[in-house]
């Protein structure tokens, strides 16, 4: 069950930029409707310690009773893990995609003489606030791979057209119009945005399918023509409650989040999931410009509960950790999203905080995950080894690869929005570098949501590295978003 | 009770930063009469500088004391440059022009830091111990006490400086009456510079003092200006002690509010704490303070009486309206879709600027809340469409009326408030309405927004998705632009007609001197309320136009920077003239002019902020009365020169320069 990697050792080898190294990949088996894909469904690969890793002693893995048998944490019974339609099985949970070209549905180089198939890319970056500006790098890596090794889209090269929101809602509208007015663009990949999102969709008017990785805006999840592959915030935060109850044995929790920064929906979902799991939780919001997070933490009773959870933006990660230290709250009491796993945080704090982290995908520095080596090999072959650890690059890679899969399934001559949407709605996983189980449309009020499974890691510092604390689990039973 | 004490103590740190920035604001105002919105931005620059020097960002690592000294020097340099390059050239301009200029400085500093250091926040090395103290069994950091102590010491030093030194006496004298100060041999420019240096040093110190609880980023310290302005207003922009205490009070109040929202009886928003309670608290405290002090708030004695630019009555209406209609309709059809969209945004911007022309240009009420009124309208429309199925034209009409209702509430509350006080209280109101009202998912739309269906009339779409797509056959449809054009022309005519009417003259009389207006038989309160109602209706109209334009409404659309931005656009265009509103709309965010330059220069993101800030300042210095005002003056001067030449030619004798025509215009418009 315990799986560790020498995160810090890798850091030293690769330099500081490698501090990004943490992935949000999803274990996925190549089953389902993807008959061509090679699969590796061996459960050992996801749970067994890795030979070359420093296995932590039990006492570094949180309480002994939290390292529950794999059956309890990684392959829950159908009653507790499956959506109501019972599509999830333990075997699927253990699935991994290992043959990326087969996943896309082609092989060899694309034919440059053919007309390129264009896809749009939309993100919030280049302004005062951004969730990520590296997501596009993952998209480009995938496009390069598809064009060089996966046969393009039925032989046609794939091409990306970018449009960004920096600071203004107007820019979201401009991007929507740009894509809507360009008939050569068949679909759009989107990064996480919370400025201009609604106006983007209004301008797009459903004319192009939109493929998300991780969404921070409810506007994404309610779109009929969108697919949030790795998960909308509310839905992948909810499994925290399952993990806290079943693995950590949490009896009380505190959650803080900033107002007006796109986090309220996620906080709401997480809080309601804890209530569904029978864990009392105190939720405190703070104005986005609040400098001192000790105040909301104390107000939430963070010093007295078992588990403290920040639902925050990247810019708050450092001050959250500082506040935690100021209040002498142990790092292992913190359960956070991977949004704080980035080089800036590691640089500012000297290392990443030793929290529990929830990731709705694989961890890209975890070679025991069979999905990871093919991914790292591709980036290395492209001369971009420094990108390996960035979770947003990994997510972007997964988005573009999956869109390419849909486009190939439809065929380059039949690429209509309806046909692509039909593919994405029918896709049940496994998702490359993502969740093993997808169910787009599971939540009627959020038809764009495809995933609500999350897995958990514990970072044990530079020497001990990362440790798998809990495999993919869904929200607690009875949870209503 | 112990919780109350605990959170009071926890609020000391944040309160100290607010108090420090607030004192810097007061010093600047006393020294030069400027409400410097960039004061928090100077603290931000200091925070970045201290971080960079301490962490070896510039390849040299400084110790704490040298880093602090260099950082303070940099903050002072920023202040000196602001004074020399921006505020001194605008010395004889209206306070609103200076306020807008300070917004330009804020944008420049913010963009510079983002371009230099990136958007990731930096952890500022703390200059205080990181020890923990136990209070009622709860651990709390010690730094709050240190920060409070340092700020109190700064306050003591400042009070002593202003009370017992010749510099302080001179500053106070000039602040009381600049004319007498001049007669006593005091130089307003030198006093202004000295106080700017002092204020910059205090603000810079806050960037270092705030280290334990703030990060170096582009927003946190910058927007401390809002509670700091509130504290300064409590102090009447004159008392450092009161500003300091009010700053601590606001900080403590915000801390207490963080605790209060966790109490069982406190209402929630879908289980989450109601957002915006702290901003609402600041606003309510401010309104309370103003209700106590009201008109007794002192204004600064000035050497040069600075009024808003003159407001000439337009003589011809039909021809300009027809021209605008013809040109606008043609452009909507022939322009490529990007420019078409930019033109539609400009049309909406014109409407927002028109509302400012009425309330600020005609009546002199510096209300920054116009975008909030627009927001009220937009959100009402969204709820009408989504929940009640009420669309065009009743939904927009109800939206505009909602804007009037909110505007009247603001107006009636602000009857006794004017000048900088009104600007500050409405600024706090914008933040409160955005965070407490619009960001609330129940009665607002949350952050991401709420959808608004495109308008339909008699079963046909008249929105951006209408069938007619212009020459390029692309979205958005010009049809929505035609609707906007009709609305804009109608409102331009309305505002122009108001200026030409008796009501317009009464408004200008109120703007010039309320007491004199009252003595002349004008019901000042009635005129103000009518002006608020009209401008609110216009702002509300802009709100539903935005909603239809974006197909959604969101809280961010109606936030503080948008509000300040529109005041800047309106002032640059010419805040007292209809033609100024047209120019303001053209230069509004992503309007026709910015879009043209973005396409031409290929700039975006933070570069746009930087260039925008520089252009705001440059345009203000070149056109202190706005582009329309300057153009009007030049045209009048040319006419006078031509007329004088004609008379000279007929009579054979020269006429004195600066004919009566100019004064006549000024008297009518002032």
- List, for residues A6-17, the tens digit of each pLDDT value: 333 333 333 333
What are the tens digits of pLDDT across the range A29-39? 223 333 333 32
DSSP strand pairing (B272-273 vs B450-451) = unpaired
Among residues B350, B364, B377, B360, the alpha carbon closest in space to that of B537 is found at B377
Q: What CA–CA distance (Å, rounded) separates B620 from B103?
A: 12
**CB-nearest partner of B219 from A164, A285, A289:** A289
DSSP strand pairing (A281-286 vs A253-258) = parallel
Q: Which chain A residue has its CA at the smallest distance from B129's CA? A: A326
When the pLDDT of each residue in chain B is averaged and rounded to a whole number, the result is 88
- Name A122's bridge partners: A163, A190
- Any alpha helices (H) in B315-393, and if so which ranges? 318-334, 337-356, 370-383
Q: What is the DSSP string of B269-281?
A: ETTEEPTTHHHHH
DSSP strand pairing (A307-310 vs A253-258) = parallel
User: Could you tell me if B311 and B499 are in contact, meaning their C-beta atoms sit under 8 angstroms apart?
Assistant: yes
Measured torsion, CA atoms of residues B308, B309, B311, B317, in degrees rounded to the nearest 10: -130
Strand A210-215's sheet: what is its strand order? A158-165, A117-124, A185-190, A210-215, A226-232
Q: What CA–CA distance (Å, rounded) separates A288 from A290?
A: 6
**Does the pLDDT at position A42 exceed 80?**
no
**Does the pLDDT at position B63 exceed 90?**
yes
When the pLDDT of each residue in chain A is averaged and rounded to a whole number, the result is 80
Q: Is B658 left (phi over 0), alpha (psi -120 to 50) or beta?
A: left
Q: What CA–CA distance (Å, rounded) separates B359 from B311?
A: 13
pTM for this predicted structure: 0.84
Q: In this predicted structure, what is the pLDDT of residue B1?
A: 77
A177 vs chain B: nearest CA distance in angstroms? 6
**pLDDT band of B105, cuts 50, 70, 90:** very high
Outline where DSSP puts E strands in B496-571: 552-553
- Interface pTM, i.e. ipTM: 0.84
Q: Is the peptide bond before B486 cis (omega within 30 degrees of 0)?
A: no
Mark yes or no for CB contact A325/B446 under 8 Å. no
Average pLDDT (A408-416) is 96
What are the tens digits of pLDDT across the range A128-174? 878 889 999 999 999 999 999 999 999 999 999 999 998 888 999 99
Give every CB contact of residue B218 below 8 A, 6+ residues apart in sequence: A128, B44, B110, B113, B114, B119
Mark yes or no for CB contact A202/B223 under 8 Å. no
User: Could you tell me if B366 and B360 are in contact, meaning their C-beta atoms sit under 8 angstroms apart?
Assistant: yes
Among residues A360, A314, A305, A356, the alpha carbon closest in space to that of A334 is found at A356
Q: In this predicted structure, what is the pLDDT of residue B306?
A: 62
- Name A159's bridge partners: A118
- Work out the angle at residue A98's Cα, subtended by the Cα atoms of residues A97 and A99, and round it to the nearest 5 degrees: 105
Q: Which two tokens stand for residue B395?
A: 């939904």
Q: Which two tokens stand for residue B629?
A: 């005002």
Report percent pLDDT > 90 for chain A. Answer: 58
Q: What CA–CA distance (Å, rounded) separates B531 from B362?
A: 9
Q: In this predicted structure, what is the pLDDT of residue B448?
A: 59
Among residues B391, B392, B386, the alpha carbon closest in space to that of B445 is found at B386
What are the tens digits of pLDDT across the range B594-618? 999 888 888 777 887 888 899 889 9
Average pLDDT (A88-99) is 59
**Does the pLDDT at position A62 exceed 50?**
no
**Does the pLDDT at position B374 exceed 70?**
yes
B537 vs chain A: nearest CA distance in angstroms? 23
**pLDDT band of B227, cuts 50, 70, 90:** very high
* DSSP conformation class of A331: G
Q: Is A110 left (phi over 0), alpha (psi -120 to 50) or beta?
A: beta
**pLDDT band of B435, cuts 50, 70, 90:** confident
* Contact status of A9 with chain B (Cβ, < 8 Å): no
**CB-nearest partner of B215 from A264, A271, A319:** A319
**CB-nearest partner of B552 from A199, A259, A272:** A199
Tell which A residues from 119 to 178 touch B, by Cβ distance under 8 Å. Answer: 125-130, 164, 166-171, 173-174, 177-178
* B138 contacts in chain A (CB < 8 Å): 298, 303
Tell which A residues from 223 to 282 touch B, by Cβ distance under 8 Å. Answer: 259-262, 264-265, 267-268, 271-272, 282
Q: In this predicted structure, what is the pLDDT of residue A21?
A: 33
Q: In this predicted structure, what is the pLDDT of residue B175?
A: 75
Average pLDDT (B530-538) is 97
Handedness of CA B649, B653, B657, B663 (dihedral sign): negative
Helix axes A417-426, A391-410, angle to 10 degrees: 120
Mark yes or no for CB contact B10/A295 under 8 Å. yes
Among residues A40, A431, A72, the alpha carbon closest in space to that of A236 is found at A431
Q: What CA–CA distance (Å, rounded) separates A467 from A4?
A: 4
Average pLDDT (A53-73) is 30
Q: What CA–CA distance (Å, rounded) separates B559 from B578?
A: 25
Count of positions (residues) in chain B? 670
Query: Among A430-434, B238-242, B285-289, B662-666, whose mean pLDDT is lowest?
Result: B662-666
User: Could you tell me if B70 and B54 are in contact, meaning their C-beta atoms sit under 8 angstroms apart?
Assistant: no
Give every CB contact of residue A414 below 8 A, 6+ residues apart in sequence: none
* B455 contacts in chain A (CB < 8 Å): none
Q: What CA–CA distance (Å, rounded) separates B663 from B641?
A: 15
Mark yes or no for CB contact B338/A292 under 8 Å. no
């Amino acid at each position: 069950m315990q799986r560790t990697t020498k995160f810090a050792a890798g850091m030293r080898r690769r330099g500081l930029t490698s501090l990004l190294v943490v992935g949000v990949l999803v274990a996925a088996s190549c089953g389902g409707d993807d008959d061509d894909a090679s699969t590796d469904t061996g459960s050992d690969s996801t749970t067994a310690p890795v030979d070359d890793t420093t296995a932590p002693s039990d006492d570094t893995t949180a309480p002994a009773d939290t390292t529950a048998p794999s059956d309890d944490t990684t392959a829950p019974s159908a009653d507790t893990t499956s959506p109501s339609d019972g599509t999830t099985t333990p075997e699927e949970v253990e699935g991994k995609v290992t043959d990326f070209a087969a996943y896309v549905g082609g092989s060899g180089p694309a034919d440059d003489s053919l007309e390129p198939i264009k896809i749009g890319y939309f993100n919030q970056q280049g302004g005062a606030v951004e969730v990520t500006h590296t997501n596009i790098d993952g998209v480009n890596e995938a496009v390069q791979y598809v064009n060089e090794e996966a046969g393009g889209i039925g032989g046609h090269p794939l091409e990306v057209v970018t449009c960004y929101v920096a600071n203004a809602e107007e820019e979201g509208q401009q991007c929507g119009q740009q894509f809507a007015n360009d008939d050569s663009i068949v679909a759009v990949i989107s990064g996480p945005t919370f400025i201009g999102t609604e106006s983007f969709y209004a301008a797009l008017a459903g004319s192009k399918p939109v493929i998300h990785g991780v969404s921070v805006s409810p506007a994404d999840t309610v779109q009929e023509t969108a697919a949030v592959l790795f998960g909308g915030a509310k839905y992948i935060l909810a499994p925290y409650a399952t993990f806290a109850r079943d693995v950590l044995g949490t009896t009380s929790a505190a959650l803080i989040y900033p107002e007006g920064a796109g986090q309220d929906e996620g906080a709401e979902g997480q809080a309601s999931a804890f209530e569904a799991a029978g864990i009392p939780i105190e939720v405190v919001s703070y104005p986005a410009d609040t400098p001192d997070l000790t105040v909301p933490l104390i107000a939430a009773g963070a010093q007295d509960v078992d588990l403290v959870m920040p639902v925050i933006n990247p810019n708050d990660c450092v001050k959250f950790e500082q506040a935690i230290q100021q209040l002498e709250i142990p790092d292992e009491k913190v359960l956070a999203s991977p949004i704080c796993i980035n080089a800036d945080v590691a640089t500012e704090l000297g290392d990443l905080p030793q929290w529990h982290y929830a990731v709705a995908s694989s961890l890209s520095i975890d070679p025991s995950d069979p999905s990871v080596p093919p991914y790292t090999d591709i980036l290395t072959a492209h001369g971009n080894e420094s990108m390996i650890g960035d979770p947003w690059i990994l997510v972007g890679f997964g988005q573009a690869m999956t869109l390419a899969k849909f486009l190939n399934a439809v065929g380059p001559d039949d690429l209509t929005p309806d046909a692509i949407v039909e593919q994405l709605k029918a896709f049940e996983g496994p998702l490359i570098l993502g969740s093993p189980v997808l169910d787009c449309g599971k939540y009627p009020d959020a038809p764009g949501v495809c995933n609500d499974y999350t897995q958990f890691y514990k970072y044990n510092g530079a020497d001990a590295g990362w440790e798998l604390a809990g495999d993919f689990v869904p929200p607690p039973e009875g949870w209503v978003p | 009770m112990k919780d109350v004490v605990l959170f009071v103590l926890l609020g000391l740190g944040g309160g100290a930063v607010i108090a420090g920035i607030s004192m810097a604001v007061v010093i600047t105002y006393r020294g030069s009469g400027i409400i410097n919105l960039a004061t928090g931005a100077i603290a931000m620059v200091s925070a970045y500088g201290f971080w960079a020097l301490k962490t070896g960002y510039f390849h040299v690592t400084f110790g704490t004391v040298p880093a602090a000294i260099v950082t303070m020097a940099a903050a002072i340099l920023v202040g000196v440059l602001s004074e020399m390059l921006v505020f001194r050239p605008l010395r004889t301009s209206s306070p609103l022009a200076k306020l807008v200029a300070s917004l330009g400085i804020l944008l420049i500093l913010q963009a510079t830091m983002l371009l230099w250091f990136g958007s990731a926040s930096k952890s500022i090395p703390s200059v205080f111990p990181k020890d923990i103290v136990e209070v009622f069994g709860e651990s709390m950091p010690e730094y709050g006490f240190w920060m409070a102590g340092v700020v109190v010491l700064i306050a003591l030093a400042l009070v002593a400086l202003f009370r017992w030194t010749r510099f302080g006496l001179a500053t106070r004298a000039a602040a009381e009456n600049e004319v007498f100060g001049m007669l006593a041999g005091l130089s307003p420019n030198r006093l202004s510079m000295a106080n700017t240096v002092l204020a910059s040093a205090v603000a810079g110190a806050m960037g270092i003092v705030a280290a334990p609880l703030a990060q170096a980023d582009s927003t946190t310290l910058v927007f401390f200006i809002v509670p700091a302005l509130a504290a300064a207003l409590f102090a009447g922009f004159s008392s450092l002690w009161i500003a300091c205490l009010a700053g601590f009070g606001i900080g403590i109040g915000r801390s207490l509010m963080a605790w209060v929202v966790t109490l069982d009886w406190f209402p929630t928003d879908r289980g989450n704490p109601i957002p915006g309670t702290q901003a609402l608290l600041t606003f309510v405290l401010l309104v309370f303070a103003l209700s106590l002090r009201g008109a007794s708030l002192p204004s600064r004695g000035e050497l040069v009486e600075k009024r808003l630019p003159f407001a000439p009555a337009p003589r011809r209406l039909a021809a300009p309206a027809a021209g605008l209609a013809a040109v606008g309709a043609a452009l909507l059809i022939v322009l490529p879709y990007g420019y078409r969209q930019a033109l539609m945004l400009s049309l909406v911007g014109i409407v927002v600027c028109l509302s400012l022309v009425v309330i600020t240009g005609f009546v002199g009420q510096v209300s920054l809340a116009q975008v909030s009124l627009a927001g009220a309208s937009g959100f009402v429309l969204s709820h009408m469409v989504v929940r009640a199925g009420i669309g065009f034209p009743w939904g927009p009409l109800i939206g505009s009326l909602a804007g009037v209702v909110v505007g009247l509430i603001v107006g009636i509350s602000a009857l006794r408030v004017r000048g900088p006080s009104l600007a500050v209280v409405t600024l706090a109101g914008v933040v409160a309405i955005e965070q407490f009202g619009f960001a609330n998912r129940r009665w607002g739309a949350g952050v991401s927004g709420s959808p608004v269906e495109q308008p339909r009339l008699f079963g046909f779409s008249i929105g951006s998705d209408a069938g007619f797509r212009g020459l390029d056959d692309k979205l958005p449809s010009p049809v929505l632009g035609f609707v906007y054009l009709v609305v804009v022309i109608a409102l331009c005519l309305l505002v122009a007609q108001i200026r030409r009417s008796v009501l317009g003259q009464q408004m200008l009389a109120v703007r010039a001197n309320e007491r004199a207006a009252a003595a002349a038989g004008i019901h000042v309160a009635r005129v103000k309320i009518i002006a608020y109602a009209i401008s609110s209706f216009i702002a509300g109209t802009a709100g539903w136009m935005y909603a239809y334009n974006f197909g959604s409404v969101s809280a961010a659309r109606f936030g503080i920077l948008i509000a300040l931005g529109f005041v800047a656009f309106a002032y640059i265009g010419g805040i007292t003239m209809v033609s100024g509103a047209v120019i303001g709309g053209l230069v509004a965010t992503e309007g026709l002019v910015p879009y043209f330059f973005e396409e031409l220069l290929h700039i975006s993101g933070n570069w746009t902020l930087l260039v925008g800030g520089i252009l705001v300042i440059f345009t203000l210095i070149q056109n202190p009365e706005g582009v329309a005002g300057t153009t009007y003056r030049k045209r009048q001067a040319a006419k006078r020169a031509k007329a004088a030449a004609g008379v000279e030619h007929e009579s054979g004798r020269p006429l004195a320069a600066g004919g009566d025509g100019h004064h006549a215009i000024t008297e009518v418009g002032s």
